[in-house]
């Protein structure tokens, strides 16, 4: 069955001092009942992988280039991230779609590159507030999903639903809104890739997940975990989210 995953996205936050938070997480979760991932800025991946070595916490990246190497100043390839100690990579985050003009086709190429390098891709989709208010949410999500995922969907794929209006705003989607999108995503994956791949895909919710709303979100239909921004920066905030998912994952 699919993995239950509590993933932290540190975004452009943290220098080496921030690794103390990772040390605290490693100490607090020796045998968590779910998978735990921290995606620090690229400058910290190798050091974070050192801190997490031998622990139950995995380290991921926040983006990769679609090519394995070449003349792409400032970019990082998927094999480089693997070499630095990453096992996962976030792709198509709405901040990258907005700040860097990332398109579904470009994200699909990055997803293919990640899979080829052996990274687990965490492909992000999400509607803006204007799109939600126009009643376009499910159309936007299925279009992004279809465009961003390669035809040969990898085993153990992760998809994150992150409504743009809920990211970093403290405004969390309701469980009804989350369930509607997550159920639709599972159905779309089943239709395109078949039931085995769809069942093996972890669907994360992201957008203002905090210790006090995590349990309710994890009890929602087709939610297999969370992609957490702000609340992943402090072990004191992220740790209860990991515990909530561990508790929700017990049979």
Residues with catalytic roles = 93, 162
Q: Which of 193, 206, 214, 237 binds ligand PGA (CB under 6 A)?
A: 206
Return the residue of 59, 185, 227, 242 that touches ligand PGA, per CB under 6 A.
Answer: 227
Using the CB atoms, write b or e for 206-231: b if 16+ within 10 Å: bbbbbbebbeebbebebbbbbbbbbb
Out of 228, 235, 241, 245, the residue judged to bind ligand PGA by CB under 6 A:
228
Determine, following the binding rule CB under 6 A, whether residue 162 of this chain makes contact with ligand PGA. Answer: yes
Query: Which of 95, 193 has the CB closer to ligand PGA?
Result: 95
| Contact region with ligand PGA (CB under 6 A), list: 35-43, 46-54, 186-194, 223-231 | 223-231
Query: CA triplet 148, 65, 26: central angle to 5 degrees?
Result: 90
Binding of residue 62 to ligand PGA (CB under 6 A): no
32/206 with CB nearer ligand PGA: 206
Q: Least CB distance from residue 251 to ligand PGA, whole Å?
A: 28
- Closer CB to ligand PGA, 193 or 218, in the complex: 218
Q: Is 27 helix (H, G, I), strand (E, B) or coil?
A: helix
Radius of gyration of the chain (CA): 17
Q: Using CA atoms, how far apart are residues 206 and 203, in angstroms rounded to an integer?
A: 10
Pick from 4, 5, 6, 9 the residue near ligand PGA by CB under 6 A: 9
Residue 171's region, left for phi above 0, alpha for psi from -120 to 50, else beta, is beta
Number of amino acids touching ligand PGA (CB under 6 A): 13
The answer to whether residue 230 forms part of the interface with ligand PGA (CB under 6 A) is yes
If one asks whether residue 114 binds ligand PGA (CB under 6 A), the answer comes out as no
Residues in the chain, total = 251
Q: How far apart (Å, rounded) are the C-alpha atoms in residues 49 and 67?
A: 23
Which residue, judged by CB position, is nearest to ligand PGA in the bound state?
Answer: 229
**Is residue 165 within 8 Å of 128, Cβ to Cβ?**
yes
Question: With binding defined as CB under 6 A, does residue 167 bind ligand PGA?
Answer: yes
CB of 27: closest distance to ligand PGA in angstroms?
23
CA distance 251 to 90: 28
Which of helix, strand or coil describes residue 226?
A: strand
| Residues making contact with ligand PGA (CB under 6 A) | 9, 162, 167-168, 206-209, 227-231
């Amino acid at each position: 069955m699919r993995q239950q995953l509590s993933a932290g996205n540190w975004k452009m936050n943290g220098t080496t001092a921030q690794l103390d938070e990772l040390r605290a997480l490693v100490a607090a979760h020796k045998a968590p009942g779910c998978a735990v991932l921290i995606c620090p800025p690229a400058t910290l991946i190798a050091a974070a992988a050192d801190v997490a070595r031998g622990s139950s916490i995995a380290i991921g990246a926040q983006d990769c280039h679609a090519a394995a190497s070449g003349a792409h100043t400032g970019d990082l390839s998927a094999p480089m991230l693997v070499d630095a100690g990453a096992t996962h990579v976030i792709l198509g985050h709405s901040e990258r779609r907005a700040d860097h003009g990332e398109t579904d086709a470009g994200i699909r190429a990055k997803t293919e590159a990640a899979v080829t390098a052996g990274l687990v891709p965490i492909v992000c989709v999400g509607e803006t507030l204007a799109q939600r208010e126009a009643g376009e949410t499910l159309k936007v999500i299925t279009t992004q999903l279809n465009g961003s995922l390669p035809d040969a969907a990898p085993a153990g794929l992760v998809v994150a639903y992150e409504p743009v209006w809920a990211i970093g705003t403290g405004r969390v989607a309701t469980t009804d809104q989350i369930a509607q999108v997550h159920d639709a995503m599972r159905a779309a994956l089943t239709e395109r890739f078949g039931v085995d791949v769809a069942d093996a895909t972890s669907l994360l919710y992201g957008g203002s997940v905090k210790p006090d709303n995590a349990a309710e979100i994890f009890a929602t239909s087709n939610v297999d975990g969370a992609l957490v921004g702000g609340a992943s920066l402090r072990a004191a905030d992220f740790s209860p989210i990991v515990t909530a998912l561990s508790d929700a994952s017990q049979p």
